[in-house]
Structure 1
């Protein structure tokens, strides 16, 4: 009897070890800390594990695998299987999706940002562009319109931005430059030190980032309605790793994207934005609102020139730039 039990136990152990050996683990490179910006990745990891009974897991690392500006490079060499990055961090590496960072596109909700991003990610030019890095675009990180938190005297008109040093990437940087500001590109993790040391006097961020990276601990004014645009920050996967998944694992991953994005948007709209107003009021941060005439002038100065420059620059790269720009405008105007 003891002999039979021993063999049974050994068989069970062998099966257990085989199951563990067959388990799939992906490393995911993020940065900062868990926040509204990463909630869809957190949810995705939860859903994938549930659907595969722990057979496929996503190990999320906040800065332990790579610097945020090097995440696409890490994906390209298979250093990790999934990563998040922002297009404006390296426009030359992912020019196709920087079209979504052009100023004053007119996207007015996270839901619309999600819809347009997902459509663009399937465009053949975007697929081909990211394929150069062995990357497949999985899902966006929809963000609201950016506004500025700054130090010193609060601007009373757009003319007060002349000469102001501003952390602003991509199209937002181009927009700020059109009103005389001096845009500087830096990663989110560098911003608090930059504003505290005086390297920049203002920071363009979405509300969650102003809170998560401590900008509102230093700032004393905030613009309520500049709304020049936003940044596009996709989650990508290593294409070889994606292709190596079993049918069950791939289905668990891909079928979880919509639910993960639903969770992300619900969390941003109903938690982050509800916390934003009180956070400003608690710190006595002055809220600066510009007249509609000034906003219209800002849009006129920034939108068309930035779009024309983007089309010219990226057309010269060999991208179907005008086609991509028209595609995005068509997506924005659908249902409007």
Structure 2
């Protein structure tokens, strides 16, 4: 009789122990599933598969937080992982905004990954993220931005004067330096801003023009302006990361590189179909003259210097971070 009563208890204890070993993370992103989030989706797939379902991630597209508030949510442990873009709140992540400076010279997504990882490893970055109880897990590499617009194409520096453009970070500063009027409406607000005439143009990478439908109402797209891009890391809550078992931490770490590789392959496929997309939607491809681009690049240098000085004033090693980014661009230039 004694054995009959203790057996169910033992089984129940084992069940609770097994359940306690399971780890479930909530992940806050925004918009909808797209090329920009494919590394996160792949990461979730890999950790679930390799942990036998004991480590899972629930990816939420806007259900957990607004995109400008993801870093805040991470800081209080509202969710375990999130994606954010530095340009949405430069004051919260000043160090990594060096990666958003215009005309840094990044040419490929692979180069973008290498440069971002180099800067992420700097102590000033890790210390700033620690203030938000966050650690950067991986980047979200994006091609150089280009603009779509309505009406007559804007393809000269003079034509940018007075142009209302959706652009954040260093790209916005670059446009402002030549007389444009940048606004930092979020990606999810860009279509309405363009449709209602709040902005004349929108600066995005290709996937975002597709996902947020700005390409649907555009008359033209600049194919080679390439002023820069934004930097959007994926971060994890420090407490959640440290609470992982050694096994789950190893699975997570190993899955990051594979997830980035998958992202790069997927984005390359998107770019292969871009020409067909423009043709299908009747969007004119506009080539900006090299002399005009040179004017913009030259005008970006004071923006770089201003960033260094402001970073120094904020107590960051501005020159060191800038030099690190510039050197990383050179060291990882495509052959």
Q: TM-score, normalised by structure 1?
A: 0.95
- What does the per-residue CA deviation read over 1:175-213, in whole Å, with 9 as the maximum and x for residues that have no partner? 111222111011101111110111101000000000000
Alignment partner for residue 310 of structure 1, among 291, 307, 312?
307
Displacement, 1:157?
2.3
Which residue of structure 2 aligns with residue 326 of structure 1? 323
Matched, 1:101 2:116: no
Displacement, 1:16?
3.6
Structure 1 residues 190-201: aligned runs within 5 Å:
190-201=189-200
Equivalent residues of 2:114, 2:332 under 8 A apart: no
Which residue of structure 1 aligns with residue 277 of structure 2? 279
Change (3 A) 1:159 1:127: same
- What does the per-residue CA deviation read over 1:67-98, in whole Å, with 9 as the maximum and x for residues that have no partner? 00000000000000100000000000000000
Structure 1 residues 1-336: aligned runs within 5 Å:
15-269=14-268, 271-302=269-300, 304-336=301-333
Equivalent residues of 2:115, 2:332 under 8 A apart: no
Distance in 1 of aligned mates of 2:3 and 2:177: 81
Displacement, 1:22?
2.5
Change (3 A) 1:108 1:5: farther
Unaligned runs of 5+ in 2: none
Distance in 1 of aligned mates of 2:332 and 2:260: 21
Aligned residues: 332
Change (3 A) 1:5 1:211: farther
Displacement, 1:5?
10
Secondary structure of 2:263's partner?
helix
RMSD between aligned residues: 1.7
Displacement, 1:274?
1.7
Deviation larger for 326-335 or 40-49: 326-335
Secondary structure of 2:273's partner?
helix
Distance in 2 of aligned mates of 1:290 and 1:60: 39
Equivalent residues of 2:111, 2:332 under 8 A apart: no
Runs of 4+ that moved beyond 4 A: 3-14
Unaligned runs of 5+ in 1: none
- What does the per-residue CA deviation read over 1:280-306, in whole Å, with 9 as the maximum and x for residues that have no partner? 11111111111111111111112x111
Secondary structure of 2:260's partner?
helix
Distance in 2 of aligned mates of 1:62 and 1:6: 48
